[in-house]
Chains A and B, each alone.
Chain A
């Protein structure tokens, strides 16, 4: 039995990598993931990656931040410690605007970014689980789960035909644990 866990098609060119994805999909080879040093536009549609819902998270966090600040200012300025400044109304809404606005932005940014880190399992010091070290530099890598897939040589040939400069049969899932 083969000890290969993942087959990696390493490409020099993003267009050839996209071609490789087409070829694999035409031959019904499921793709595990694709790793690139830069965002590749149009790849989501090819791989059927659903739209990100981070925008909703951003909106909710923004609403929350704005509401908290408005409530806080109302409590402090109107309820807990109303000051008589020239007989003016304590509930001076225009004065609430700058700080409420700032906190809406602050909560949107932090809430959404932390949601992004959480959803993509990114946090300080996390062990980088990279399949090929060059995928963050200048190579475009298609990873295919070797288990239960069509003959590995066929996958190798498909990738080579698509223009892969190198095809690797990794016996370990990640290379960057060392």
Chain B
């Protein structure tokens, strides 16, 4: 602890004066230990209405069959797979924040990883429901597993990307869950030791008997690091495999080698946008501004800008390869996307994903909370359109013009999608009420090195050369949002 210090010129990760370890616990556990406020109830009511719509629409689908969706002979995949890929993509930011940023020792992840991981779990659940639903007969889902059966030597087809998908998504969900829950143990123990009565009993069961002894912490950190190490290639593989569902087919518009990296970049892009959408609201409603600071918001906006640019390059690469391949079917697929009957979807995608995130080049925009929130939603809309464009516009006009058709969603399609958003938000809102939305133990780790008060203390005690102090204050003026007058006093 004593040996760990951080450069004075780095921006503080915890703002606010006189923050103590106890205050971090109190601040983070306020929504868990107290009755929820009006904002939570309003959000929860709206989200549960959405969830109820989902239950109704999915029940309708199961009762009457997939004929209730707008699918037809030509367009056999539409809103369902669009929703699936969208949700899986959203899930990716959680693992990325937990794993990749941990490996790169990016301490700013500590304040946001818990919510992002929870988001991953809920998003993958939403994605999985789509997969189960689009089978039409979800009780047959068991046949996607290589289980011994009574039909002789009948096994799943291991050559099929759809089977790879089953393994990728189920592994991703299981590993994310283990990573998330293991990380929660110390914080659940904190709740347990402050709770009384029945709550204490429940959290006692959930905490697995955590005590926080030295050896446990040491092993815990080893486990976290190795889980991060294995989750990093995992997260890249999952969306790569999802993209192979398309890329290994011969369908014009799908059969492209750019898909794996393009899907992964898109997933990170939409995932960070959803983290931003959730956390900008949560930090305000839960009063976590000191822990999820402008620095965090700005960092996430920078990642959105970077991945948005990568996605933009991928779109252009697709177009170039279609032209360069001299494959007329491929060329037509792209001409059809740009100027065919679904041109509005293509251009919505281009506007939302390529043009709008470029606004984050401006510091004033990426440090503006309302604008960041609006742009994060724009990105999510754009990413939904991206999946819609890939899936529907490629399918609706295939090799044989006599089979060309249009896809129009029915009310069931729309309700399942809107409902899945309701399910997601219901789960997230319940999560912030029962579990700490910020990883307390990890944030406490930063208090002595990366908090505003730690840096001010260093300066006040004269451990910093005057030139360095001046540079620090100047850099804050340039990059940060913390009130400068506080530093001048120190």
Contact = CB atoms under 8 A, between A and B. Distances in A.
A148 B66 CA distance: 75
Given A15-B1, A15-B2, A136 B234 contact: no
Given A105-B234, A113-B227, A41 B171 contact: no
A119 B223 CA distance: 12
A95 B442 contact: no
Contacts of A124: 205-206, 208
B445 A117 contact: no
B327 interface: no
A90 B237 CA distance: 24
A125 B207 CA distance: 7
A18 B3 CA distance: 11
Contacts of A137: 21-22, 25, 190, 193-194
Contact of A120 (B215, B227, B440): B215
A81 B171 CA distance: 25
A116 B223 contact: yes
Contact of A138 (B20, B153, B179): B20
A106 interface: yes
Interface string B147-167: 000000111111101011001
Nearest to A109: B175
Interface centre among A34, A101, A109, A176, by most chain B C-beta atoms within 10 angstroms, is A109
Interface centre among A96, A99, A102, by most chain B C-beta atoms within 10 angstroms, is A102
Interface string B192-214: 11100000000011111111111
A176 B211 CA distance: 10
A129 B209 contact: yes
A52 B218 contact: yes
Contacts of A176: 193
A49 B221 CA distance: 14
B320 interface: no
Contacts of B2: 15, 18, 42
A130 B1 contact: no
B159 A98 contact: no
Contacts of A55: 222, 226
Nearest to A123: B208
Interface stretch (B38-46, B181-189, B268-276, B404-412): B181-189
B213 A33 contact: yes
- How many chain B residues sit at the interface, stated as a range, is 35 or more
A162 interface: no
B219 interface: yes
Nearest to B223: A116
A36 interface: yes
Contacts of B213: 33-35
B174 A96 contact: no
A156 B172 CA distance: 51
Interface in A38-72: 38-44, 47, 49, 52, 54-55, 58, 62, 72
B171 A136 contact: no
B193 A72 contact: no
A121 B207 CA distance: 12
B168 A37 contact: no
A155 interface: no
Given A102-B168, A124-B206, A137-B194, A37 B186 contact: yes
A35 to B, nearest CB: 5
Contact of B222 (A35, A54, A105, A128): A54
B62 interface: no
A35 B161 CA distance: 48
A127 B444 contact: no
A49 B214 contact: yes
Interface in B392-442: 440-442
Contacts of A106: 171, 174-175
Contacts of A26: none
Interface in A109-156: 109-110, 112-113, 116-117, 119-131, 133-138
28 contacts: A35-B214, A36-B214, A37-B25, A37-B212, A37-B444, A38-B441, A38-B442, A40-B1, A43-B214, A55-B222, A58-B226, A80-B153, A98-B237, A102-B168, A102-B171, A105-B237, A109-B179, A113-B223, A113-B227, A116-B219, A119-B219, A122-B216, A124-B206, A128-B193, A130-B189, A134-B193, A137-B25, A137-B194
Given A37-B21, A122-B209, A135-B212, 15 more contacts: A15-B2, A35-B211, A38-B217, A39-B217, A54-B223, A76-B155, A77-B158, A81-B154, A98-B161, A99-B158, A102-B171, A106-B175, A112-B223, A116-B182, A116-B223
User: 9 smallest A-B Cβ distances: which pairs?
Assistant: A126-B209, A138-B21, A138-B22, A122-B208, A98-B164, A76-B155, A81-B153, A52-B222, A133-B193
